Amino acid sequence: MTATPTARFGVNYTPSRDWFHTWLAPDWDSIRRDFDGIASLGLDHVRIFPLWPVLQPNRTLIRSRALDDVRTMAELAAAAGLAPAVDVIQGHLSSFDYLPAWLTTWHARNMFTDAEAVQAQARLVGAVHEAVSDVRGFIGLTIGNELNQFSDRPHPNAMRIGPAEAEHWLGTLLAAVPAASPGLRAHAVYDAAWYLDGHPFLPAQASRLGDVTVIHSWIFNGTAQHYGGLSQESVRHAEYLGELSRAFAADVHRPVWLQEIGAPLNCLTARQAPDFCESAVRHAAATADFWGVTWWCSHDVHRDLGDFPALEYSLGLLDSDGAVKPVGRRFADVAAELRASSPAAAPARGTAVAIAVDDDDTPLSRAALAPGGAAFTAWHDLVRAGERPTFVTSRTAADPAALRARGVTSVVVPGTAGRSVYTAVSESDAAAGS
């Protein structure tokens, strides 16, 4: 067993007034009230999302006023006792894309491969880091929110790239943060990187680049629709992703940050949401080297705002008026309990499911890892048999010393039975499940 540091419990901040459009003209009094409401739940951090076109409306213009606003928001969070983490490039939020005009239509560029565009993004990463890195409690920067969705299907205007180009883009932006600077350097992908064959962003990139492995766990990806919202497969999906990510990490003690998870009411009822929250968080926290969880999200989207997928209006721990919802109270309670009980020894996971990979550690079949796939099914079969399984790559499985370093004593090779039920559509608005 390995000792796990005290886990962090926080929330992705969605302003109660004007949602992320508040960046056009921040209402600081409203934001202070929002942070006080979040802090009243006993949470310890917030993830902040400035909008890319507001920060960098022209390729060669980074607005100093916008950087000042990011710093002010981070300082207000810190004043409320909430450590700030900041995403730089938004990018994509709740089914809406926020790309600056210099990347679209008449000025269309590939954000991942155009040299001038990549350097502009790197300058923005450096500028945001300089603006906030000395704020009290600063956690670190994430390059942006699920930017891999711009690179592949099903995006209607995908900027096509290959894995080498994805890695170069990630490396360039991460390197824009000085190596000795405070805080984590992170990047966040949605689950196509793990589950969608041919996707240019790879599991090894998620588990090796930057200082922490970030996972985003959403059960509207086919898991809840196929198995049920409160099924084992759903409530342990975040734990599953965490263990899956560890198979590709070169550092066996690399931290795993559950940076997004929520209780979507297209897959759950409002009465089920608190139970899903508690069960999912408890299981995820049993992942070795668990950094913490950042719930999506703080506040419901206000009903006055149009055109969101229906579930977005109900994902908050608090409603749009700031009242704590039952799911918010449950998250606060389980966070307080788990924080009080850590650091603790993560449960031993001596049995591992082997993932067939090539010489570059790319899975031969990501569909096998996806909900319904053969490796996914094998892992859950072991859970039902009373095991606490993990994963290793086939290359690790062939190396006794590497297995010992991971505490693995038994390797299970999954069969070929199984069929992926994964749907690579972020914010899916499918019918509610059971």
Contact 331, 294 (CB under 8 A): no
Question: For residue 345, what pLDDT band results from cuts at 50, 70 and 90?
Answer: low
d(CA 265, CA 229): 9
Residue 181: per-residue pLDDT: 84
Take residue 83 and report the two structure tokens written for it: 């450590």
d(CA 121, CA 182) in angstroms, rounded, equals 20
Alpha-carbon distances, residue 311 vs 93, 238, 420, 432 (angstroms)? 13, 19, 24, 10
The structure tokens listed for 45 are 């951090």
pLDDT at 428: 45
| pLDDT for residue 347 is more than 90 | no
Coil/strand/helix, residue 11:
strand
- From-to residues of CATH 3.20.20.80 in the chain: 3-345
Rounding to the nearest 10 degrees, give the CA dihedral for residues 347, 350, 353, 355: 100
Among 69, 10, 3, residue whose Cα is nearest residue 298: 10
Separation between Cα atoms, residue 147 and residue 167, nearest integer Å: 13
| pLDDT tens per residue across span 21-43 | 999 999 999 999 999 999 999 99
Angle at the Cα of 249 (from 245 to 250), degrees rounded to 5?
170
> Which of 184-193, 235-244, 248-257, 302-311 is the least confident region?
302-311
Q: CATH number for the 3-345 domain, one of 3.20.20.80, 3.40.50.1820, 3.40.640.10, 3.30.428.10? A: 3.20.20.80
DSSP for residue 221: G
Q: How many other CB atoms are there within 10 angstroms of residue 63's CB atom?
A: 14
Rounded to two decimals, the pTM is: 0.96
For residue 341, the model assigns a pLDDT of 86
- How many angstroms separate the Cα of 320 from the Cα of each of 18, 42, 52? 10, 19, 24
pLDDT recorded at residue 91? 85
The mean pLDDT value of the chain amounts to: 94
The whole-number average pLDDT for the span 176-198 is: 94
The mean pLDDT value for 379-401 works out to 97
Residue owning tokens 């931290």: 255
Pairing of strands 96-97, 92-93: antiparallel
Q: Is residue 430 very low, low, confident or very high in pLDDT (cuts 50, 70, 90)?
A: very low
User: Which tops the pLDDT comparison, 239 or 428?
Assistant: 239
418 pLDDT band (50/70/90 cuts)? Answer: confident
Q: And the tokens for 410?
A: 């038994």
Residue 431 reports pLDDT greater than 80: no
pLDDT for the residue numbered 427: 44
Upstream peptide bond of 297 is cis (omega within 30 degrees of 0):
yes
Cβ partners under 8 Å of residue 122, min gap 6: 172, 173, 175, 176
Report the share of the chain in percent with pLDDT over 70: 96
pLDDT band at 343 (very low <50, low <70, confident <90, very high): low
